Amino acid sequence: MQLRERISAATKQAMKDRATDRLSTLRLINATFKDRDIAARSADGETKVDEAELLALLVKMVKQRKESARTYEEGGRLDLAEQELAEVEVIEEFLPKPMSDAEISQAVDDAMTEVGASSIRDMGRVMGVLKGRYQGRMDFGAVGPMVKDRLAAAG
């Protein structure tokens, strides 16, 4: 089942269950997707937003909410922090299972081999391959330094 269909089904179920907090988060996801569709609309009226881009939006939403929760906790607003973290849980349901450290290491090695990476100048190409294949499954903020270290050692 496609991501949009899964979110739509979850929204309908949340309405039936009268789960207002969950429903609010699911509607927020749908609104974010619609905003992206509108931004991507071409002159002929077609929308070209693929699954990888939608997953990237979900990852961004999770990151934003975690940062907000941390800010709220520092400010002593635990009620708002809990609300943000509850939204994170709902959003993460639609993300693929995160990769293990061993899987990430293997994926980095495979991507480096595929593009023939031999120096730090190849980092963009390696990261491009990883982002294309593993969007939503790995934290690219943590993977970037790993790729950089391996390329520095190789070059």
Structural domain boundaries of the chain?
3-92, 101-154
Look up residue 151 and give its two tokens.
Answer: 């390329």
Q: How far from 35 is each of 24, 38, 47, 49, 108, CA to CA, in Å?
A: 16, 5, 11, 11, 33
DSSP-based three-state secondary structure for 99? coil
Quick one: pLDDT at residue 50? 83
CA distance 48 to 69: 32
| Class of domain 101-154 as given by CATH | mainly alpha
Quick one: pLDDT at residue 152? 85
pLDDT tens, residue order, the chain (155 aa): 699 999 999 999 999 999 999 999 999 999 999 999 888 886 666 666 888 888 889 989 999 999 999 999 999 999 999 999 999 999 999 998 888 889 998 999 899 999 888 888 889 999 999 988 887 788 888 888 988 888 888 76
DSSP-based three-state secondary structure for 141? helix
Residue owning tokens 């809990």: 82
Quick one: pLDDT at residue 47? 67
Quick one: pLDDT at residue 27? 97
Task: Identify the CATH assignment for 3-92 out of 1.10.1510.10, 1.25.60.10, 1.10.1040.10, 1.20.1260.10.
Answer: 1.10.1510.10
